[in-house]
Amino acid sequence: MQYENENTAHSRYSACQLDRNLFLDRARESSELTIPTLIPPDGNNNTTDYPTPYNSIGARAVNNLASKLLIALIPPNAPFFRLKIDDFVLKEMEGDENLRTELEKGLSQVEKAVMTNIETGADRVAIFEALKHLIVGGNCLLYVAEEGVRVFSLERYVVKRDPMGNVLEIITKESLAYNTLSLEVQELIQEEYKSDDKNCDLYTHVKREKDKFYVYQEIHGQVIPKSQGVFALDKSPFIPLRWNRIDSENYGRGFVEEYIGDLKSLEALTRAIFEGSASASKMLFMVSPNGTTRAHKLANSRNGAIIEGSANDVTVLQANKFQDFRVAQETIGKIEQRLQMAFMLNASVTRQAERVTASEINFLARELEDSLGGVYSILSQEFQLPFIARKIAMMEKKKKLPKIQKGLIFPSIVTGLEALGRGNDKNKLISFLTTLGNVLGGETIMKYVNVSDAITRLATAEGIDPDGLIKSDEEMQAELQQQQLQQVAQNVDPQQVQQMVGQVQEQMQQQ
């Protein structure tokens, strides 16, 4: 691949900024109302004076929703993906159960190795930061490397997509100190950059050509030697994320942007009550100029002192704005309730009443979880699958995993939207069995329902592997026969017992 100096990464970055700045300005506005330091104002430096919101519900809502998403997408101590075998390969292996069992055990070991790599690294910290960027700004870029996961905020990269959302081009911008660059890179920079207090802009250009991503780095218009690289489409270390998908747009919109009207109203009302309360709390005594009470005697008298004067000459200045503050406070309460419901805060599932049942709370909690189905669907395709593919590729390169043949074995996400589907199936199954037992009795369930299959479905809905945990039909039959033999042994002499045992064993061998 040829790189031309007149079409540098710096010029491409500057050209793509015009489209990005429209989304960046909106992201900064959302950050100002929630977490101001997440996406700082333009021209940010160490002396930037960040705005301080008058209420903390925005920051609490963002952190709460990001935590819930992190636990749902990458649950602790449990793999969030499964390596599945192609259906046609499974059909060919139907006659060889030992081979299928060994292959499934090997895939399970691969899953545990990948999860161990994620748990031992600092991936969760970076992913939590990325989720906050998605909620507030709607966009962020993940760089998954052997050193760990790095997050680029929207102000540090640009991206180009086709109308169907496929990534065509990514350019990142990093400001590095001159002393941190290698000697080979320092030789490419002009004399004016050789200063300790001046940063150098390093651009990383990722461009798609057919079924490959070509990568190179550039500094001051010069391509850095040995920086070129090629990656497969599903193994690129650069993963651009967005909160929602909008056709023909290169960037997504943040979750906060959808509720920015409520956040602005809450900020304005909270500020009005704060400033009004501060003014109303100021206590001023006014003395009538024509009265007999003297102001200096009133001010200098100690508590309990006796002075000459009239109580009618002294009044206290009052704002008399209690009713106005009450209307504002009630409006604030309604806005906070809407925001708590939208951001899945626990306070939103508890109704303000004397009696609130546990069923009502569970129903509202499930309703909130179901509202994230659309978020799970896009994150599973644009984050979880590329993240796992990149992790497996890095571990294969370092020979920590065996080579997985593409097309025969593929990862499948089992958390997020998939977990919601299993949860709904579990609730329906429990409701059906409960209704059946209440209406027709427990004997009907034992007579018409396959209990072992019902137990297996409940375990699957909970995300638990039933193999080895639930007894098979053969094991249940063997235990039943053993119980029958023990009952007979109590009433029959030992010789007859031995004869019966021999007959049963002979029948089992024939079976």
**Nearest CA-CA partner of 167 in 224, 255, 231:** 231
Supply the pLDDT for residue 170. 95
Location of structure tokens 């009630």: 330
Q: How far apart are CA 189 and CA 361, in angstroms?
A: 63
Supply the pLDDT for residue 23. 94
Location of structure tokens 């299928």: 100
* Chain centre to alpha carbon of residue 348: 20
Q: How far apart are CA 69 and CA 243, in angstroms?
A: 12
Sign of the CA dihedral running 302, 307, 311, 317: negative
Reading the chain (511 residues) residue by residue, the pLDDT tens digits are 444 455 788 999 999 998 999 999 999 999 999 999 999 887 665 556 788 889 999 999 999 889 888 887 888 767 788 887 776 766 666 655 566 667 777 777 888 888 888 888 888 899 999 999 999 999 999 999 988 899 999 999 999 999 888 999 999 999 888 777 778 777 777 655 555 567 788 899 999 998 899 999 998 888 888 889 999 888 899 999 999 888 888 999 999 999 999 999 999 999 988 888 887 777 788 888 888 888 888 888 888 888 888 888 888 877 777 777 888 889 999 999 889 888 877 655 445 444 545 554 454 445 555 666 667 778 888 898 899 989 988 888 888 888 777 767 778 777 655 554 445 556 677 777 777 777 777 777 777 777 777 777 666 656 566 666 667 667 777 777 777 767 766 666 666 656 766 776 777 677 6
Supply the pLDDT for residue 462. 62
DSSP 184-247: HHHTTS-GGG--TT-EEEEEEEEEEETTEEEEEEEETTEEPTT--EEEEGGG-SEEEEESS--T
DSSP 340-403: HHHTT-GGGGS-SSS---HHHHHHHHHHHHHTTHHHHHHHIIIIIHHHHHHHHHHHHHTTSSPP
Q: At what angle do helices 9-33 and 123-137 cross, to 10 degrees?
A: 80
Instruction: Determine if the pTM surpasses 0.85.
Output: no
Q: Are 277 and 325 in contact (CB under 8 A)?
A: yes
DSSP 422-447: HHHHHHHHHHHHHHHHHHH-HHHHHH
Supply the pLDDT for residue 225. 83
φ, ψ of residue 413 to 5 degrees: the values are: -80, 135
Supply the pLDDT for residue 353. 47
Supply the pLDDT for residue 110. 84
Supply the pLDDT for residue 287. 86
Q: Label residue 298 left, alpha or beta by phi (over 0 means left) and psi (-120 to 50 means alpha).
A: alpha
- Angle at the Cα of 383 from the Cα atoms of 377 and 386, rounded to 5 degrees: 120
Supply the pLDDT for residue 420. 46
Facing residues of 141 across strands? 152, 240
Q: At what angle do helices 57-73 and 123-137 cross, to 10 degrees?
A: 130
